[in-house]
Each structure stands twice: as structure tokens, then as C-alpha cells.
Chains A and B, each alone.
Chain A
Amino acid sequence: MNALSLRNLRKTYSNGFEALKGIDLDVEAGDFFALLGPNGAGKSTAIGIICSLVNASSGTVTVFGHDLRRERDKAKNCIGVVPQEINFNQFETVSSILLNQAGYYGVPRKLALQRSEKCLTQMELWDMRNTVSRRLSGGMKRRVMIARAMMHEPKLLILDEPTAGVDIEIRRSMWKLMREVNGQGTTIILTTHYLEEAESLCRNIAIIDQGRIVEHSDMKSLLARLNIDHFLLDLADPVAAAPVIEGVHIERASDRVLDVSVPKTFGLNQLFSRLSEQGIKVISLRNKSNRLEQLFLDLIDAKASGAAR
């Protein structure tokens, strides 16, 4: 069963800007799905429509088989959302925010109290339950929003750039939380500008650009399409010039560092053998760029040049 289906979804704002040009998208139940795209591509509009914050111009949204227009309550009950920006009342305590949220979904008080304890414990915020939310750190506020979104036990959780602006330690702990939530059976749709985040967490991916879906596939197949890997090689001894190896592009980044672009068909073993033949000893290897980032840029560039033509 699909957790989410979008059909011919269109949105034209009152100023005439066409944010969505008829997108179709399916997300399977239980998936950890990445929805990526550059700024202004239409991601936030699509999420806004799914979450009833934006009125669609046309098209349908179906959540676990419930049409968002015809079966509004059932569809909305399936969705939990963690928005990009803090949108809770910062004068309320953490506990009040969660209990009010449960109340909006008609969860009885006693059950809401049990769930708030569970969600806050999971988000490591139980000790902060009586703290006024504006006194929390940025990372804690983000976790409050995740806990809030979990209060009605949604089957589909939409995370709109949940780790934007938080440090790497908090980001990693949030990745762990997201994996746990997904592991418990909740479908997650993630939008992020940190592409290594999407690559690390998500099984399927859609890329949206200029209001259209330009890519929709599973992460493995998408990454397999990238046929060149980029590495930085740290050398044991300094080199005066970049070595020449046919089929491989090598640049000298510094005395002891080479910037290498290797086709997958060439292979690292062969590369190291050829370097060794030239007396160059490699002591370590680093990924120069994120693989998904490279693909993402390629796809967006291809689309842009297509549009220019």
C-alpha cells in the first residue's frame, strides 16, 4: 500500500507563479523517502499541500488510501509533520505543547499524558517537560517538534529539513532517532539540503526541480548511475607533478595530495597499482564529494540546460 500518492498536483500562486506543474509521486508504506530539490523547486509547496497548509490548484493527494479532500479527517490523522521553522508557541511549556497537539487530534487527556511521556523520553526531553520552550536550545526545539508530531501516532511522518542549522552531533543523534521511528513502522518523507543525510537514511528518492519531478527511483539505482568517483589521495612522499595514468584524471592538489577522478570501470586496485609503478605510495584516501550531491547537481544541471535549449 502507498503511504502517499500525488496525482497531477498543481499549484499556481495568486501572483501567477507556477510552483507545481502537475507532479505524480508514490511513497510506499514503511519507506524512508527523500524529497530533494534546490531552493524554490516546489518541495515546500508540495509538503504544504499534503499538510493542508497550502490549497492545491488541482490534483489529488491520497494518504494511506484516504483522499485528502473527501476523507479529510482520516487522511489528516495519518500525517505528522515537522516543519522547517519553529512553529510552536514559545511561551508554553514543552509538556503543554505536546498535550495541546494531542487535544487537536481528539486524543483523551489520560492517553495524551502517557504518550507525551513516551515521546519526550524517546526524544531525551523528559527532564525538560516543564521548561518554557523558548528557553530550549535549537536542537531541543527541533526534537520537541518531532515529539509533537508523534503525539497522535501518525503512520506518515514528514520531516521538512529537520536538521537545518543544528551542529553535527545533534544531527547524528537526530538521524538515530529518525531511524528508530522508521524502524517502528512509520513511513518517513525527508526533505533536506544535507545530501549525505538523504544518502545515509533514505531508501527511495525523488528530486523535484522547477515544479516537476525530474527523478524518482531507489537510492541504490540512482547512485549506481554515477560512473565516476572522486577522491583525494594523501601521499607518503611529496610529488613535483601529477602522475599521468590513461583513463584517470589526476590533479596535484598540494605536495602530498592528489585530486583523482576514477571511472568505476577502471577500479581502485588498478589505480593503486599504476601509482605504485610510478613510485607513489598512498597512505590514505578520502571521498572528495558526496556521491548523491554529484548526481543531484548533474540532474539539476541537465534539466537547466534542457530548459535553456
Chain B
Amino acid sequence: MNSGIAFRTIAVKEIHRFFRIWPQTLLPPAITTALYFLIFGKLIGGRIGSVGGASYIDYIVPGIILMSVISHSYSNVVSSFYSTKFQRHIEELLVAPVPNWVILGGYVTGGIVRGLAVGGVVALISLIFAPVSVHHAGICLSIVLLTATLFSLAGFINAVFAESFDDISIIPNFILTPLSYLGGVFFSVDMLSGHWQTIAMGNPILYMVNAFRYGMIGATDIDVALAFGITGGFVILLTLFSLYLLHKGVGIKN
């Protein structure tokens, strides 16, 4: 059994899937984020002044890029893998001698590529509104890859447990979006007072956004090494949990 061929088959199928429906997958984030940049960056941001030593629009660009990466890597895997279950073509993979890590790796790769593609589109849109600089390319690239991996894995786990299409929208709508908005995309954690600051520090997305912001403009509210530790730790944890679910056949086998 050549696992490399199986992995490539799943990954290419997944990437081809979202590129084929680009008006649904790549166009909407371009429009949404253009509006963010226009309204929050230009119109309102012009009156806010500087945050963390940068203009407000420069400050929010990294967060908006990473927020897009988070939501799209998650939604790619959760919708694709759930559809695979719902339409029962998961059976093609279960009948074949495809190792579990190949199934997981193939779907997560699709999620990562979608996250990076959307992140790239949003970064290009941001160039219209602000000069995008890169303070530390290595940090930018590694944190965006880790974040896309983490949320692709989270999307996979959501899809494994989902029993209806409602189940794949609950977490993005009621958990992921609030955590993203409260993850320091539009504000510095220093702006929060007392216990709100403590609560905000419990949001893992805050660490990823700040590490990415540090990579782009050199400004951060948190220790970047800690951000890598937390994100990497979650990636390992969710990978192991996903493999355990596949091994047990949770949600996909009787």
C-alpha cells in the first residue's frame, strides 16, 4: 500500500474542491475584509490614532488576516468531512486500506491550503488600504501554518461528532466567531481593564493573533514563545484526539 498516493489523492481532491467553488470559498472573504478595512481601518480607525505604536489600520491588518485563516481552515474541513459522512462516500475511504493518519492528513492539508489561500487573498486586499510590512517572515509563516493546522483539526473533530448540518454551524457561530473577535483582532489587551484582561488572556486565539501581529509589525501584547507553545501544544493534542476518534470509528462506523 502506497500511503503517499492515497494522501496526495485526498489532499488534491480537497484542494480542487474549494478552488472549483471559488465564488463560495475565496470571494466572500475578499469582500468582507475589504469592508472591514474600509470601515474599521479607514473611516473609524483614522479617528482612533495609534495602537501599540502602529496606526490603527496597520494594527488590525494581521488580526483580520489571521481571523480569515482561522474561520476558513475550520469551515473547509468541517463542511467537507461532514459532507463526506452525510453523502456516505466516507465508505470509500473506510473500505480501502487508507491509514487513519492519511485520512486526517489529507483533510487537514485541504484546510491548511484553504486557510492560506484566503489569508493570501485578504493580505492582497489589505494592500489597497495600508502598506503591509513583514517584520519577521519566519514567525509569520510558522504561526499562520500552526493556526491553520490547529483549526483544520478542530473542524475535523467537529465534523466527526456532527450528526446534522446544524451541528457544523454551532461551534463556528457561537464559539469561534466570538473568540476571534475577542482575540485582540481589533484591540490591544492593554485597553481592557482588570479582570477582563485576565479573561482575555484565557483565549488561545489572542496568542496566535499577537504572535502573527509581532511577525508583521513587531507589536505584541504577549510572549511570542508562549504563543508558539500554546498553539503547538493544541495541535499535538487535537492530532492525537482526531487519530483516536478515527481509530475507534466514532461518528463514522457502527
Give the B-binding residues of A (Cβ under 8 A). Answer: 13, 45, 48, 51-55, 72-73, 76-77, 79, 81, 83, 85, 87-90, 96, 99-101, 103-109, 148, 152
Contact = CB atoms under 8 A, between A and B. Distances in A.
A106 B254 contact: no
The 5 closest A-B pairs by CB, nearest first: A103-B9, A106-B2, A104-B96, A76-B97, A87-B88
Among A48, A83, A100, A106, the one with the most B-chain Cβ atoms within 10 Å of its Cβ is A106
B140 interface: no
Interface string B70-102: 000000000000001001110111111110000
Contact of A76 (B8, B9, B95): B95
Contacts of A72: 97
Nearest to A89: B89
A108 B97 CA distance: 15
Interface residues of B, number: 25
B106 to A, nearest CB: 10
Interface in B213-254: 249, 253-254
Nearest to B253: A55
B136 interface: no
B95 A103 contact: no
Contacts of A101: 92, 96
Main secondary structure of the interface of B (DSSP, over half): helix
Nearest to A52: B94
A64 to B, nearest CB: 14
16 contacts: A53-B95, A53-B253, A76-B96, A76-B97, A83-B91, A85-B88, A88-B89, A89-B84, A101-B96, A104-B98, A105-B96, A105-B97, A106-B1, A106-B6, A106-B97, A148-B92
A99 B9 CA distance: 9
Contacts of B92: 87-88, 100-101, 104, 148
Among A77, A89, A103, A148, the one with the most B-chain Cβ atoms within 10 Å of its Cβ is A103
B3 interface: yes
Given A48-B254, A89-B87, A90-B87, A105 B1 contact: yes
A76 B99 CA distance: 11
B13 A100 contact: yes
Contacts of B2: 106, 108
B5 interface: yes
Nearest to A87: B88
Contact of A54 (B1, B88, B254): B254
